[in-house]
Amino acid sequence: MPRSNMRRLAALALLPMFAGCVGYTSYDPAEGDRLGDSTLNAPAVRAVLSRSLAFAIERMPPELSEEEARLSVLAPTSDRTVAVSLPRGLTKATHDEILASLGEGVSPVVDGTEQLPIYRVGVMRIRGGTADVDVHRPLDENDNRFHAPYQCITITLRSDLEGWRVEDFEAWMPGTVPLPALNALRIPQEAPVEDPEPTEMAVEAEDGQ
């Protein structure tokens, strides 16, 4: 076998390592499907979510019509502030890392951001070095035939030695793919601080009065 082909086969064999070794993984919020925490928070899953959301937010702003998206028209990123609804089961650290990768102007779904345009993650499928992610993007104009405020975009990604990259996408007719539920970021509440027990000195002072 030529040496060049051997190097190519060796590189292909290493792809699962660079992809994060998540194997065959799927997530479907409509079926209540929840990945194990270790898988959902794996580096490869984080990268797939970050790349697909970045593509949808940067190239498919809310002002891009649903028809333009179905015709594979892409628009430059807008300066509008948006929010993202991520899958259930992410740790706070993973959630923050994905948000940081999306840059300024992208917020989590918390109190005060529900009125922003929100991009929602739906079904996610990872098959070794390829992945498909449904990102439901908000629409400014609801004059489509279904009068739906969202449009599902199935984004296909592939992993190579440089990481995950968007390879293709398919824009669906609004209303075709069910909209996943909104997942707000749940910030753990700190336990209330109890009043300290009075010190012996304070008790003695009270007894002396």
**Pairwise CA distance, residues 14 & 160, whole Å:** 9
User: Are the C-beta atoms of 88 and 34 separated by less than 8 Å?
Assistant: yes
Specify the pLDDT at position 38: 63
More confident residue, 78 or 137: 137
Specify the pLDDT at position 190: 46
pLDDT exceeds 70 at position 148: yes
Residue 124 is classified by DSSP as E
Confidence of residue 122 (pLDDT cuts 50, 70, 90): very high
**Pairwise CA distance, residues 174 & 137, whole Å:** 10
User: Are the C-beta atoms of 166 and 157 separated by less than 8 Å?
Assistant: yes
Confidence of residue 10 (pLDDT cuts 50, 70, 90): very low
**Pairwise CA distance, residues 66 & 157, whole Å:** 22
Write down the domain spans for the chain.
22-186
**Pairwise CA distance, residues 10 & 191, whole Å:** 53
How far separated are the first and last CA of the chain, in Å rounded? Answer: 97
Token pair listed for 116: 């922003």
Amino acid at 207: D
Name which of 104-113, 158-167, 189-198 the model is least confident about.
Answer: 189-198
Confidence of residue 56 (pLDDT cuts 50, 70, 90): very high
Confidence of residue 40 (pLDDT cuts 50, 70, 90): confident
Please state, rounded to an integer, the average pLDDT across all residues of the chain.
Answer: 79
pLDDT exceeds 50 at position 97: yes
Residue from 84, 55, 85, 50 nearest 72 by CA = 55
Which of the given ranges, 74-83, 104-113, 136-145, 166-175, has the highest pLDDT on average? 166-175
Q: What is the pTM of this model?
A: 0.77
Specify the pLDDT at position 185: 80
What region does 23 belong to: left with phi over 0, alpha with psi -120 to 50, or beta?
left
Mean pLDDT of 130-154: 86
Name which of 21-35, 99-113, 156-170, 184-198 the model is least confident about.
Answer: 184-198
Residue from 120, 136, 132 nearest 174 by CA = 136
Amino acid at 42: A
